[in-house]
Amino acid sequence: MSRPVILLIEDDEDVALAARMLLRKLDADFVHLPHPQLFDAWQRHRQADIVLLDLNYSPGAIDGAEGLAMLARLRALARPPQVFALTAYADVPLAVAALKQGASDFITKPWQNDKLLQTVASALRALQAASPSSHAADDELLGQSPAMRTLRALIASVAPTDANVLILGENGVGKELVARAIHRASQRRHGPFQSVDMGAVPESTFDSELFGHRKGAFTDARADRTGRFQSAAGGTLFLDEIGNLPLANQARLLTALERRQITPLGADRPEALDVRVVSATNLPEIQLHDPQCFRRDLLFRLNTIVLRVPPLRERREDVPLLARHYLLHYAEQYRKPLRELSEAAQQSLQAHDWPGNVRALRHACERAVILAQGERYQAADFDLAGVPAMETPLAAPAGGLKLEEQERQTIRQALEQSAGNISHAAKLLGLSRAALYRRMEKHGLQA
C-alpha cells in the first residue's frame, strides 16, 4: 500500500520547510512544488491526495489569480484532491473566493501549528475512511509498450485463479513486481505475500526455512519455527530465483506441492497447505528443460501459467516514462530540483541496451539526480559509459557473414563437436552453461 501524498504548492522556501517539519509527524508523503507551473510534469507520475495551495506567486501579486487558476485545474482532475488555500490574514475575502470555487478550507499565514496539523490529520482520516484501498500500488508495472500492455492483460486474466504461475525474465526486469501484481489482483489479496530467494537458502536449512520445525527437532531448535509455506497461508508464496535451487531441494519442494501438505521437522503429523505458489527465474526456458538443471516434474507443477517479462531493450518506448518516474522519485527523496530530460539525454537513454534492465535504469537515474547541475538532465549525467555492456559476441569463423549468423554457426559447430553435450560445448566456447543456454535460445538452437 502506498502512503497518501500531501502536496504543498508554495514559493516561499522557509514556509515550505516549516510545513515539511510539522507534517512529517503524519503517515503521509510530503512533496513541495515552488510554483504551479511544475505541477503538470509532477502529476504525470504521482497523484496528490491533499494540496496546500498558496494563492500568489508572482512578485507583488495580491489578487490570487494564479492560485485560483490552479485550484480550478485541481478540481478538474479525474480524482480531485482536497485543497486547502493558504493566504495571509488580511486576505480572508480571497480565501472565501477559494472556498466558493471548491477549496475544502483555508489556512491563514502565519499558521498555528496545532491547527494546521489537526486540519491535515482530519483530512487524512476522512480520506482513509472513505477509501481504505485507494492507494493500492497499481502503478508499479510502468510502461505503455505493446509488450507491457500484453503482460498486464495476462496478469488480469491469471490473477483471479489459483493457478501456479512461473515468471521468466532477465535480472532486473521486475519479476517480483509482477508477482506482487498477481497477488494484489487475486482472491488472496487480503492474505500475506511471502517472498523467498531460493538461491539464498542453504541446503542444510532448507526444510526448516520452508516447512518449519518444532522445538527440539535438532540441536539449535530452541523454539518452534513457522516455515515460509505456513507463514503465507491464505496468501501467496513467491519463490524467487527458483532455478538456483539444487536438485535435492527440488525433490523436497515437489513432494510438498504434490501432496499439498508439509511436515515441520520434529512434528508428528503433516499440515495442509493453503497457499498459491508463484515462482520466478532468470534462466532461459531451454535450460529449465535440462534435467541436469531442473526436474521436469517440478517444472510441470510450477508452470501452469508462464509469464514472460520483456527486457527493457525490447520496449525502448517505455524508457522515457520510466526515467521520468525515477527522476521524480529521487528528486523528492534527495530534495533536489525538478528537472526535465533534454532531448539528447532521452535519445541516449532509449538507444542504450540496459543489460541490467529497469534496475540499471533506476540506478542511473538516482546518479543523475544526485550529480546533475544544469537546468535539464543531460546524457552525461547518467554515466551510460559506466553501465556494463551486453555480453560480447563470440569469436567466429572469418567470412562475409553477419555477426549474428557467425555466432549462430559457431554455437552450432560446438554443439556438433560435443554431440549435444551442453557442458562440453560450453567449455569449448569458453562460456558458462547458463550463458550458452541464453545464446541457444536467442538463435533458436537445440542440443
The architecture CATH gives domain 146-308: 3-Layer(aba) Sandwich (3.40)
Q: What is the pLDDT of residue 89?
A: 60
Q: What is the pLDDT of residue 393?
A: 44
CATH 1.10.8.60 domain range(s) in the chain: 314-386
Residue of 387, 351, 346 lying closest to 367 (CA atoms): 387
**Cis link prior to 110 (omega < 30° from 0)?**
yes
Residue of 443, 444, 386, 441 lying closest to 170 (CA atoms): 441
> What CA–CA distance (Å, rounded) separates 331 from 333?
6
Indicate the pTM of the whole model.
0.60
Q: What is the pLDDT of residue 346?
A: 94
Q: What is the pLDDT of residue 400?
A: 44
Q: What is the pLDDT of residue 2?
A: 59
Q: What is the pLDDT of residue 403?
A: 65
| Count of Cβ atoms closer than 10 Å to residue 61 Cβ | 12
Number of residues that this document lists for the chain: 447
Q: What is the pLDDT of residue 178?
A: 95
Residues in a beta bridge with 165: 278, 305
CATH 3.40.50.2300 domain range(s) in the chain: 5-130
Residues in a beta bridge with 83: 51
CATH 1.10.10 domain range(s) in the chain: 403-443
CATH 3.40.50.300 domain range(s) in the chain: 146-308
Residue with cell 541464453: 438
Q: What is the pLDDT of residue 244?
A: 87
Question: In 3-state terms, what secondary structure has residue 308?
Answer: strand
Cell numbers found for residue 385? 559509459
The phi and psi torsions of 295 (rounded to 5 degrees) equal -70, 130
Domain 314-386 CATH assignment equals 1.10.3720.10:
no
Give the CATH fold of the 403-443 domain.
Answer: Arc Repressor Mutant, subunit A (1.10.10)
**Positive or negative torsion for Cα 346, 348, 353, 356:** negative
What is the pLDDT tens value at each position of the chain, 447 positions in all? 457 899 999 988 888 888 988 898 788 889 999 999 999 888 877 889 999 999 888 887 778 888 899 998 898 887 789 999 988 765 677 878 888 888 888 888 888 888 888 889 888 877 766 554 433 333 468 888 999 999 999 999 999 999 999 999 999 999 999 999 999 999 998 889 988 888 778 878 888 889 998 888 887 777 888 888 988 899 999 999 999 888 889 999 999 999 999 999 988 899 999 999 999 999 988 889 888 889 999 999 999 999 999 999 999 999 999 999 999 888 888 888 889 999 999 999 999 999 889 999 999 999 999 999 999 999 999 988 765 544 444 444 444 445 667 777 888 888 877 777 777 787 778 777 767 777 776 777 766
Q: What is the pLDDT of residue 434?
A: 67
Q: What is the pLDDT of residue 219?
A: 78
End-to-end CA separation in angstroms for the chain: 46
Domain 5-130: CATH superfamily is: Response regulator (3.40.50.2300)
